[in-house]
Amino acid sequence: MKNVMLIVACLVSLSTSSLAAAQSAARPKTPDEAVKDVEKAQSIKQKAEEAQANARPARPLTNVQIELTLTDQSSAGPVEKKTVSMIVASSSLGKVRSAGTIRPQADAPYPVMLNVDARPYLNADGSVTLELTVEYYPLKDAGQEKEGVKQRPSGINQSQTVVLQNGKPLAISQAADPINDRKVIVEVKATVIK
């Protein structure tokens, strides 16, 4: 019996609220109610525009030329320079991949590669913040031996973020080979293209 009375009470409540909604829709709005509705709609529109502006921060669409130079040197041989150049839109990622496999006689094959990833950001003072990843596994003469064992050259894998002055090169790292006196210097330059 309680359940039946509860159902009847709910139905009466629903019909009363539906009747009130129908009556308010049937009568015209007063000028004050119309003004409040317009103000409410304008407030909702303004909040939506602000949320959209905050969701997509403005960023300048400017190209940046990235030039990376690797200097690979040891006392036993000539200085080798490798250069990678790319143009990347600011705040975007650029990738360059260069790879191969060396198969020396009577030795296991090994990879050689030079991979560069760069993402430049323009700063208000005109400098460039650069996120950079370099992976370098070089080819060296097969004659390098230590205690009768052929030594493959050591590779470099580095990631870093640096601030560069527009158009000015900067040596950002120097890595020593753990086996011999070889060292690799990484120099990078970022130039904003206008």
DSSP category for residue 58: -
Give the number of other CB atoms < 10 A from CB of residue 70: 22
Q: Kindly report, residue by residue over 67-118, the tens digit of the pLDDT.
A: 999 998 877 778 889 999 999 999 999 999 998 887 777 777 778 899 999 9
Residue 144: name the closest of 102, 179, 174 by CA.
179
The answer to whether residues 102 and 152 belong to one domain is: yes
The answer to whether residues 141 and 121 belong to one domain is: yes
The answer to whether residues 109 and 72 belong to one domain is: yes
**What share of residues in the chain are helix, strand, coil (percent, to 5)?**
25, 45, 30
Q: What is the pLDDT of residue 11?
A: 45
Between these two residues, 5 and 165, which has the higher pLDDT value?
Answer: 165
* Domain end point (choices 55, 77, 97): 55
* Domain end point (choices 55, 84, 100): 55
Asked whether residue 145 carries a pLDDT value surpassing 80, the answer given is: no
Asked whether residue 124 carries a pLDDT value surpassing 50, the answer given is: yes
What percent of the chain has pLDDT above 90? Answer: 39
Q: What is the pLDDT of residue 151?
A: 66
The answer to whether residues 49 and 95 belong to one domain is: no
Q: Kindly report, residue by residue over 4-39, the tens digit of the pLDDT.
A: 444 544 444 545 545 444 555 567 777 777 778 778
Identify the band that residue 176 occupies on the pLDDT scale cut at 50, 70 and 90: confident
The answer to whether residues 124 and 31 belong to one domain is: no
Q: What is the pLDDT of residue 178?
A: 76
Asked whether residue 130 carries a pLDDT value surpassing 90, the answer given is: yes
Q: Are strands 110-122 and 156-164 parallel, antiparallel or unpaired?
A: unpaired
Least confident of 50-59, 65-74, 129-138, 177-186: 50-59
Q: What is the pLDDT of residue 125?
A: 93
The whole domain housing 103 covers 63-193
Q: What is the pLDDT of residue 191?
A: 96
The answer to whether residues 93 and 189 belong to one domain is: yes
The answer to whether residues 51 and 139 belong to one domain is: no
What percent of the chain has pLDDT above 70? Answer: 74
Between these two residues, 49 and 64, which has the higher pLDDT value?
Answer: 64
Q: What is the pLDDT of residue 100?
A: 82
Mean pLDDT score, 145-153: 63
Record the tokens describing residue 111, joined without a space: 């990879």
Each residue of 20-59: b (16+ CB within 10 Å) or e? eeeeeeeeeeeeeeeeeeeeeeeeeeeeeeeeeeeeeeee
